[in-house]
Amino acid sequence: STTKYSMWSFLPRYLYLQFSKAANAFFLLITVLQQIPDVSPTGKYTTLLPLVAILVISGIKEIMEDYRRHMADKIINTKTTIVLRQDSWQIAMWKEVNVGDIVKASNKEFLPADMILISSSEPQAMCYMATSNLDGETNLKIRQALPQTAGKQSERQLLTLSGRVECEGPNRHMDSFAGTLYLRGRSPVPIGPDQLLLRGTQLINTQWIIGIVVYTGFDTKFMQNSVKSPLKRSNVEKVTNMQILFLFLLLVVMAVLSCVGAVIWNQTYGTNIWYMRKDIDSSSHSFGFDILVFIILYHNLIPISLLVTLEIVKYVQAQFINWDEDMHYKVNNVYAMARTSNLNEELGQVKYLFSDKTGTLTCNIMTFKKCTIAGIIYGYISPPHFPLEIIQTEMLVKFSVLPHSQSPSYITEPYEFNDPKLLENVANGHPTEHYINEFFILLCVCHTVIPERDGNNITYQASSPDEAALVKGAKNLGFVFTTRTPYSVTIEVRGEEYTFEILNVLEFSSDRKRMSIIVRTPSGKLRLYCKGADTVIYERLSEHSLFVEETLAHLEHFANDGLRTLCVAYTDLTEKEYKQWLQKYKKASSGLQNRIQRIEECYDSIEKKFLLLGATAIEDRLQARVPETIATLLKANIRIWILTGDKPETAINIAYSCKLISGKMPRIHLNANSHKAAQQVINQRCRDLGNLLGKENDLALIIDGATLKYALNIDIKKKFLSLALSCRAVLCCRMSPLQKAEIVDMVKKHVSAITLAIGDGANDVGMIQTAHVGVGISGNEGMQATNNSDYAIAQFSYLEKLLLVHGAWNYLRVTKCILYCFYKNVVLYVVELWFTFSNGFSGQIIFERWCISLYNVIFTSLPPLTLGIFEQCCSKSSLLKYPQIYAVSQTGEIFNTKVNSGHYTWQSMVHCLYLFKFPLRKL
């Protein structure tokens, strides 16, 4: 069940939700006061009727939304599956599946719960799972049952299965699982992610599987990840709440003023007003009674229909975003999607934009371009660069900027790896022939790619675009990865097949930044292949490793060309060394407490004394119109920070390519290996800026993740923030997902500006949820970013239309709608205040009571709706042609507490005084 209400809980829960809002609670109080005899000058039902109408409208909306949830739940819960019960296979609905049940699923079926794989129809108890429902990835995942249960396939065998499973509690981590299987009469066996089948995944290319259920319902990882995004409130909503509070205080002041006026008037004229009251004296006239009368008389100062009006307006605005053909990515038929309508106006106030690089600014479609093997570069050689003329300004000298001997190398059109020299070296027996063969064998073996055959054609399913690019690149050079099983990998090299026995896969993680595989080669050797970031590979190299300096220089050259790099290395293992490590690994993998940490420590103990083979270089091209979009956003006074896990050189080159920084822009590099060094370099840079600190300068700041770790400490953070805010562009490199969120949180908390974070991968979820507005890009890294975002788009360039057009329009529309609602209510109901001076402060109403009641709900309901839905400050073409207009909404100068209370409220009070003194008359 994902619903909010049941048939019996709807009324109490809905009323509690509605009256927890201050405005609705206030009008409920007024309605109650109106029921007291002789208190209400406006009648008993003039507030009750509009309040009931608003509650009914909101209630219908809640019922419709919850009914859709009920229907979706019913479709899911009534799906059927096959369960082993009462000694036979029986059909049961998903909602009837319990923990401990043995379930059988057939090809193309979706799984009803999280299960541990017992056996399957495939050799070696393998199965293939499609996980697009969970992570959006289209590649197949391979899962394999434990050898201890792989033979349990018939009913009789399954009925004799006896034991228990101990596993971690329910959690939302899709890629991790720690459990232990205790079979009667056998030693415990560790269970990991390779045996876990998740609810919502689909069985593909497998006739059937059998599994035992471990998590059901809300305990499944699918449902654990279905939590709501953090509640975000727009800045306009906060200002509106302050305005409502101001109007309430104004109402109290008006009521007190009227009460004081009533006391003075009664003391002055009380003896002569026999026609109004009997036996007037001070004791019979209650000050508290009058307060209630005047609060009821003036309570409509606060517009009762404002909340409903805003909900309708924002909902329609969200639909305009969803329907916008300019943000329709026709290649994948993906439209922009407003996942929330509460933040529409925030899109018009963004000051700081935090962007991921890979998949956000770039396409995340990888192509193998270059490599370096045994100190020799292969691949397309870029044309020579031409030096930029360096203008020696005072700032260039002052900030000790690195000299630019070369211009930025802009990313070219796509091309495949093409260098005949490599194959010639292999064919002619070049001294590096052995290294070349070993290099490409590593690329064919060290990965998690799954091959799919269609006749003679082989396609590769990979969770990482990088891995697919490397395997395809090796295939084009004659090193073809053909077959994969849980225990072996088969490759074909120049017509000959070689099978490598897989002993262990040391999986990649964002902390490890590398992946390794232990294999037994066709010649019987034990070998560990590894590929990963240069920083983690280089610190694990053997002192006997060759080509270290040459490869490092080539890595810098690749990074300057904007290419993504990976180092590849290997080490040979002895049988004794491997057996000792294997015992340590089994012990680490069998425990439930801190299993992942212990396993990674175990991995680290064998990943050492590497011999470097070389490095790969992969191109990830810029998305269409990224440079133009960034240039436009910069003109709109939006500051852009790039937060990436790539090397600084790669990030700088991409920043050049997308025109975030220019060749003449001075650069400040922050690179420190200790807390003290980081503090010193940041303080020195702040002193160099002098009076320019805190002001925006034409500078670029580049910092890596290691330095950032120290810069975010509480004693340095403010200085670092001041330095960063003084720069036009900021590049944060080698960052972890947590550091991305910390950077956004730092700016969000210490700068009074609206922040927006945009990314496409799971590593961007933290910053997307932390920022005021989170935008997800539907890319090749799954759907986690879009599922946790406030707005989803298919291309970075659509951000231009989303912010400059929809953002500016929505801000103007929402603020005008709110101001109109406040204005019309003040203009009408303050007339009652001026009228009290004419009726002896008696609380008499000037308007017919049903006119008051229907004023907001019917008479003036359309004008604010029309403004909120259709108003435009400028045309779309003007907003895109002159992005500087965006600053009007960005600064928020047309809608804030000072402007609202100091200008519109007093202006409306003057207008209502004019209307009272000079009413319209018939011609």
Q: Which of 866, 882, 895 is nearest to 805 (CA)?
A: 882
On whether the CB atoms of residues 171 and 224 are closer than 8 A, the answer is yes
C-alpha 108/C-alpha 552 separation (Å) is 48
Closest CA to 164 of 178, 186, 150, 180: 180
Strands 667-670 and 697-704: parallel
Q: How far is CA 5 from CA 2, 24, 427, in A?
A: 9, 20, 73
> Closest Cα to residue 745, out of 733, 729, 757?
757
Concerning whether 87 is annotated as a catalytic residue, the answer is: no
DSSP sequence for 682-696? HHHHHHHHGGGTTS-
CB neighbour class for 318 (10 Å; exposed up to 12, middle 13-18, buried from 19): buried
Q: What single DSSP character describes residue 382? A: P
Please count the CA atoms within 13 angstroms of the CA of 11 that sit on its side-chain side.
2
What single-letter DSSP state applies at residue 764? G
Span between the terminal Cα atoms of the chain, in Å: 65
Nearest to 261 by CA among 229, 287, 295, 222: 287
Distance CA 396, CA 283 (A): 83
Q: How many CB atoms lie within 10 A of CB 548?
A: 13
From the list 849, 835, 909, the residue with the least C-alpha distance to 261 is: 835
DSSP conformational letter for 802: I
Q: With beta carbons less than 8 A apart as the criterion, state whether 452 and 460 touch.
A: yes
Bridge partners of residue 213, in order along the sequence: 115
3-state secondary structure 472-497: HHHHHCCEEEEEEECCEEEEEECCEE
Smallest CA-to-CA distance from 725 within 761, 751, 691 is with 751
Binding site residues, as ranges?
A: 356-358, 467, 508, 531, 564, 644-646, 734, 740, 760, 763-764
Which residues are part of a known binding site for Mg(2+)? 356, 358, 760, 764
User: How is residue 438 written in tokens?
Assistant: 């070993």
Number of Cβ within 10 Å of residue 524's Cβ equals 7
Identify whether the C-beta of residue 409 lies closer than 8 Å to the C-beta of residue 561.
yes
CA dihedral 217, 218, 221, 225 (to 10 degrees): 140
Separation between Cα atoms, residue 460 and residue 140, nearest integer Å: 10
Q: Please list the residues that pair with 792 across neighbouring strands.
A: 337, 776
Can you name the residues that pair with 58 across neighbouring β-strands? none
Question: Of 597, 589, 587, which is closest to residue 179 (Cα–Cα)?
Answer: 589
E strands, 33-162, are 80-85, 88-93, 102-106, 114-120, 126-130, 140-144
Q: 114, 356, 561, 704: which is the annotated catalytic residue? A: 356
Instruction: Tell which phi-psi region holds residue 572, choosing left (phi > 0), alpha (psi between -120 and 50) or beta.
Output: beta
Q: Say if CB 802 and CB 344 are below 8 A apart.
A: no
- Residue list, annotated binding site for ATP: 356-358, 467, 508, 531, 564, 644-646, 734, 740, 763-764
Helix, coil or strand: residue 840: coil
Sorted by sequence, the CB contacts under 8 Å of residue 604 that are 6+ apart come out as: none
Cα 309-312-315 angle, rounded to 5 deg: 145
Q: Nearest CA to 39 among 288, 277, 292?
A: 292
Which one, of 524, 533, 527, lies nearest residue 565 by Cα? 533
CA distance 478 to 492: 8
Question: Residue type at 580?
Answer: Q
Catalytic residue list: 356
